[in-house]
Amino acid sequence: MIRVSLTHRTPFMNKISISPEIKEKCPNLTLGCFSCELTWAARSEALNEAIQNTCTKLAETLTRPEISKIDTIASSRIAYKALGKDPSRYRLSAEALLRRVVTGKGLYQINTIVDTLNLISIDTGYSIGGYDLNKIEGNIVLGIGAKDEPYEGIGKGTLNIENLPVFRDDKGAFGTPTSDSTRTMVTEKTNSFLMIFLNFGKHDSLEEVLVQTSDLYQKITHAQNCQTLIID
């Protein structure tokens, strides 16, 4: 079922779906989608300050053992195990980022688009895919990775995506909660952007998080034509 969350449904949003094969193993799975047109920039002082404040707060109040107990991360780990993937070996992106933060390493500095996404991820515990919409072809379907399915993860090289949750378009796999792919990655040429939140526990916070996401991208990246949607 597709449910409009906060704004009118767009033709593109109608093309995102969850396959029956993954829904059977992860029945509480929902997706939060946010798309916009935006302006790329290398840095933002306002964003850097927000990241620093959030990282400092988390490092002071959160320990490594506590990360896996955060509701959104705990439900994601359960889903990985249900799919047959070890979440300690193939870490979800939100968990991996938080492990960096609590040890005082902070977040990677990439660009305003990706850095804003990472800030939202550590603040909410949701693993989020971020994609250049212009590099996606056809419909998007969330399914389960196949054996030997080709996938080049950003900063990870060839990644074994068998049994991982995987987003595919007409050209094949392009996103997982463990690592986005090089094919649809955000660059300085990105002006049309899609984020997909993976909500494995059907947590009620997702709708509010989408509102906050839209507000933050409008503030940091001057985003326009913002659209949000929850798919379950």
Phi-psi region of 125 (alpha: psi -120 to 50; beta: other; left: phi over 0): left
Chain segment 180-226, per-residue pLDDT in tens: 999 999 999 999 999 999 999 999 999 999 999 999 999 999 999 99
Please state the separation of Cα 105 from the chain's center in Å: 21
Residue 147: is its pLDDT beyond 60? yes
Chain segment 36-69, per-residue pLDDT in tens: 999 989 999 999 999 999 999 999 999 999 999 9
Please state the separation of Cα 179 from the chain's center in Å: 9
The answer to whether the Cα torsion of 106, 109, 111, 112 is positive or negative is positive
Chain segment 103-121, per-residue pLDDT in tens: 999 998 999 999 999 999 9
Q: What is the pLDDT of residue 3?
A: 41
Question: Would you call 229 helix, strand, or coil by DSSP?
Answer: strand
pTM for this one? 0.93
The tokens describing 137, both together, are 């072809």
137 vs 24: CA distance, rounded Å: 26
The tokens describing 223, both together, are 């985003």
Q: Where do the domains of the chain lie?
A: 2-231
Q: What is the pLDDT of residue 13?
A: 65
Cross-strand pairs, 43: none
Q: What is the pLDDT of residue 10?
A: 54
Q: Rounded mean pLDDT of the chain?
A: 93
106 vs 161: CA distance, rounded Å: 27
Residue 140: is its pLDDT beyond 70? yes
**Domain 2-231, CATH homologous superfamily name and number:** Phenylalanyl-trna Synthetase, Chain B, domain 3 (3.50.40.10)
Residue 5: is its pLDDT beyond 80? no
Chain segment 169-185, per-residue pLDDT in tens: 999 999 999 999 999 99
